[in-house]
Amino acid sequence: MSSQAVTQTRLVEVRQNVLKQNDIVARELRQRFHHAGVYVVSLVSSPGSGKTAFLEKTLALLRPKFRVAALVGDLATENDAARLARSQVPVKQITTGTLCHLEAAMVRSALDGWELTDLDFLFIENVGNLVCPSSYDVGEDLRLVLLSVTEGEDKPLKYPTIFNTADMALLTKMDLAEAVEFDSAAANANIQRVRPGMPVLQVSSKTGAGMNEWLKFLASSRRGIL
Amino acid sequence: MHELSIAISIVEMAEEEAARRSAHVSAVHLKLGALAGVVQAALLSSYELACEGTDLEGSRLLIEEVPIVVYCPACLAQHTLGSPQRFVCPECNNPVSEVIHGRELEVFALEIQE
């Protein structure tokens, strides 16, 4: 080769979605879920907003009528899975290590050994994080974003992306609303600003307030996919 | 901080394409939507890390920001939004929820040397 050789630089079009691999797996999962008749809900929120408590309550209330199971993402501990196992439903922990979100492939491997046709509902609790999980589809039918009253009404404006990618918002710890002077109307207005038309429910996992409405919503949504 | 895993995916994608064409990649052009949930500065530094020890070491990541474009059912037109904090039509003030652009996270071109 001559030292005079000129390297040609040219631009080639590629057009590839960076998260293509995740999206493909998520699509496969969604098909498997629908085929098996499982309605899948994922929960996203900041750490400490009450995802596990809400899930505990939901699992306990659904269990008499439906076949339910849960996958729980956590960075390092298995505490949440241990808590949820008390509801006596199948629970599996996905320990993500340093990864700040769940990916579709992690959900797929966690499902190994479970017969999906044995389930009516599957809940996927994501890692507590309001940023990273927003980019990853995990094959869910409903992405639920939780906002606890202690976090402040402006959370949706600070983290618009995760609220925008969610299908429904849940205001949690409503039993503390008065004590922390939480303004539900302002929170709701902020949610509507970043995601117009998003349904919002108010719940308290402690007192059970709002849980009936949530269960009704779940039951009718599941009928919708069947 | 999921930018590192995204940077690794970008590098892997570019490496694959480079191998297929038996070429060397000197730059990656990326479209990044304002609603993609990715922080540009974090992605740029993660990209350098992800390139280390690969054929892409020394390559550049060129990011084209994609603003949020929504469809307004009241004006029957597409509009660009200035902020992800206000999904309201800039023309008629109606709430808008249909996102046309802004979720992009796409490698759209590579600069290659053959």
Asked: is A20-225 a CATH 3.90.650.10 domain? The reply is: no
pLDDT at A106: 95
Cβ–Cβ < 8 Å for A12, B109: yes
Cβ–Cβ < 8 Å for A142, A40: yes
Task: Number of A to B CB contacts under 8 A, please give it.
Answer: 101
Distance CA A15, CA A83 (A): 44
Closest chain B CA to residue A162 = B37
pLDDT at A98: 75
Q: Which residues of A touch B107 (CB under 8 A)?
A: 14-16, 18
pLDDT at A77: 76
The residue segments making up the domain with residue B13 are 3-67+100-113
Please, where are the H alpha helices in B1-114? 3-21, 40-51
- DSSP state, A65? T
CB-nearest partner of A157 from B85, B97, B108: B85
Span A70-93, average pLDDT: 85
Distance CA B72, CA B90 (A): 9
Q: Is B2 or B60 the better-scoring residue by pLDDT?
A: B60
Task: Give the distance from residue B73's alpha carbon to the nearest chain A alpha carbon, in angstroms.
Answer: 13
pLDDT at B49: 96
For residue A3, pLDDT beyond 70: no
Query: What is the domain count for chain B?
Result: 1
Q: Is residue B23 part of a domain?
A: yes
- DSSP state, A133? G
pLDDT in tens, B68-113: 999 999 999 999 999 999 999 999 999 999 999 999 999 999 999 9
CB-nearest partner of B37 from A16, A134, A192: A134
Task: Give the distance from residue B87's alpha carbon to the nearest chain A alpha carbon, in angstroms.
Answer: 5
A90: its two tokens: 């199948």
Distance CA B86, CA A42 (A): 25
- How does strand B68-72 pair with strand B77-81? antiparallel
What does the buried/exposed string (b/e) look like for A126-161 if buried means 16 or more CB atoms within 10 Å of the residue's CB? bbbbbbbbbbbbbbbbbbbbbbbbebbbebbbebbb
- How does strand A39-44 pair with strand A142-148? parallel
pLDDT band for position A8 (cuts 50, 70, 90): confident
Give the closest residue to A93 by CA, choosing from A120, A70, A123, A122.
A70
pLDDT in tens, A94-129: 987 778 899 999 999 999 999 999 999 999 999 989
pLDDT at A5: 60
Q: Is residue B60 part of a domain?
A: yes
Cα-based angle A35, A41, A42 (whole degrees, multiple of 5): 125
Residue A68 exposed, middle or buried by CB count within 10 Å (0-12, 13-18, 19+): buried
Q: Is residue B93 part of a domain?
A: no
Span A60-65, average pLDDT: 95
Phi, psi of A66 (to 5 degrees): -130, 160
CB-nearest partner of B37 from A9, A131, A194: A131
pLDDT at A226: 76
Can you tell me whether residue A125 is helix, strand or coil? strand
pLDDT band for position A2 (cuts 50, 70, 90): very low
Interface test with B, best of A18, A138, A158, A190 (most B CBs within 10 A): A18
pLDDT at A95: 84
pLDDT at A208: 97
Domain ranges of chain A: 20-225
Query: Is A19's CB within 8 Å of B1's CB?
Result: no
Query: Is B13's CB within 8 Å of A18's CB?
Result: yes
Q: Is residue B87 part of a domain?
A: no
pLDDT at A1: 47
pLDDT at B103: 95
For residue A27, pLDDT beyond 60: yes
pLDDT in tens, B5-45: 899 999 999 999 999 999 999 999 999 999 999 999 999 99
Q: For B72, left (φ over 0), alpha (ψ -120 to 50), or beta?
A: beta
Please, where are the H alpha helices in chain A? 20-36, 51-62, 79-85, 104-110, 155-158, 160-165, 184-194, 211-225
Q: Is A142 or A5 the better-scoring residue by pLDDT?
A: A142
Cβ–Cβ < 8 Å for A184, A177: yes
Q: How far is CA B98 from CA A62, B69, B70, B90, in A?
A: 33, 9, 6, 14
What mean pLDDT, rounded, does chain A reach? 93
pLDDT in tens, A157-203: 999 999 999 999 999 999 999 999 999 999 999 999 999 999 999 99
pLDDT band for position A34 (cuts 50, 70, 90): very high
Q: For A135, left (φ over 0), alpha (ψ -120 to 50), or beta?
A: alpha
Q: What is the CATH number of the domain that holds B17?
A: 3.30.2320.50
Distance CA A200, CA A147 (A): 10
Distance CA B17, CA A90 (A): 42
Q: Is residue B86 part of a domain?
A: no
